[in-house]
Chains A and B, each alone.
Chain A
Amino acid sequence: MTMRVHVKVRRFDPDTDQSPWWSEHDLDAEPSDRVLDVLNKIKWEQDGKLAYRRSCAHGICGSDAMRINGMNYLACKVLVKDLGSNITVEPLLGLPVIKDLIVDMELFFEHYRSIMPYLVNNDPVPTKERLQSPEEHERYDDTTKCILCAACTTSCPSFWATGDYLGPSAIVQAHRFIFDSRDQAAADRLDILNQSSGVWRCRTIYNCTSACPKEIKVTKAIGEVKKALLFNRF
């Protein structure tokens, strides 16, 4: 059953605008439409200038994280029927806005790169696979789901307060390797996360866990990294 929705979008075009403003749009939507479908309709039928990132449209690529009715979502993973007829869309908080819903992701990826997000294993390479038991695999499985969308990091008040904080996503990525039985650089990553920009900035607010579109237990993962630091166990 088609419904009428009123959509407010936070806009800013550096080529023409002095300061941000709101555009407002009334349109028909299906309850099962994704917010991304709604944005596409606005762009393709009402206002070609509207700018946002998108690609896969089903919650895999992580392009379209944004703030929708005050919460971080992927626009392609939240449906109109779950939001009601008034929808407010804003860019992610805590990263500089480039245009409309597009933010500068460089700081986010800089933090990602800083935690050594790759397997380190200096042993001679075996001719077949390295063995890993299902239990050892299970230990870090949850944090392999991260799609680097930044929904968690930009929902974190500690990150809003200081962009130096590496943020939940970078810690999730570090967790993925720290607890991988094949990896040999856990101590180096823990040193990085033990600094003032690391895990101790986390105040266990759980915004990150609520925001994660892949339902990763982000706060739990951060807790496990903290425990590893306190008890030197991983």
Chain B
Amino acid sequence: MMTDAAKLSPMRTRRAPALASWDTAVGHALMIFVSLLCVFPIYWMIVTSLRPSNAIFSTNLWPDAASLDNYAYALQAVPMTRMLTNTFLVSLAVTLVQLLTGILAGYAFARWRFRGSAILFGAIALTWLVPLQVVMIPNYLLVARLGMIDTLGALILPHIASAFAIMLLAQSMRSFPTEVVEAARMDGATHWEILWQVIVPNLRGTIASLAILIFITTWNEYFWPLLLTRSTENSVVQIGLQMFISSEGTQWGPLMAASTMASLPILLIYLLLQRQVIASFMKSGLR
């Protein structure tokens, strides 16, 4: 149906859709360009991993003689499966423990008013601003004193609580309807029951997003494992990748094959939980 305004200004109504579709076309073209820019390095990594060593620097978009030799070499040169398992275990443990501490601390901050809670919350928030490089040496000394150098436990220990997880969960618990919590109190629920039976089931979205974020961050970690690991058996995959870069030169083919293998679990998470992953990055303010 035509509105009065539309009847009065036929010029505008005729031009508007054309303009709108032009805008859309430009917008889409831009987005496609940016997407290609983002996807290209991944594509190039995979293509390079399939090239023989003599054609490694070829600029063809498609590998001329694709082979899996680089993969076979990478798997044989470093204990790739072991490293992938280690990385998976460490990422999983960090994710679970960080979620647990985040949920408990988040509930305390969201639901309990205690003396100094604002200061404590602020202090926790501030730790988020402290870069790894600052705490690296104290943490290293601590781990060394605990005799945990070159263990998987040491990769987990400094990450059992994170300011980001606590803040995000406290925030979503604060916005959880107070009346529902009060209803649970009237129904006779303890704090523990309110947290696990009422709040947590309703924060599944946030928790899932956060879990993905923690998992990916831990999976990609390089510097702390680099400091701590001595043996390849206790190493993670990001360290494994580094082994293909040496003073004698970089083995680009195997490096790209190993990188592809290292990225696979993350790519798989993306494919399976695309929506959640995007939501989690939106929530964290990073994109």
Does B bind A?
Answer: no
B residues whose Cβ falls under 8 Å from a Cβ of A:
none
Residues on A close to B: CB < 8 A? none
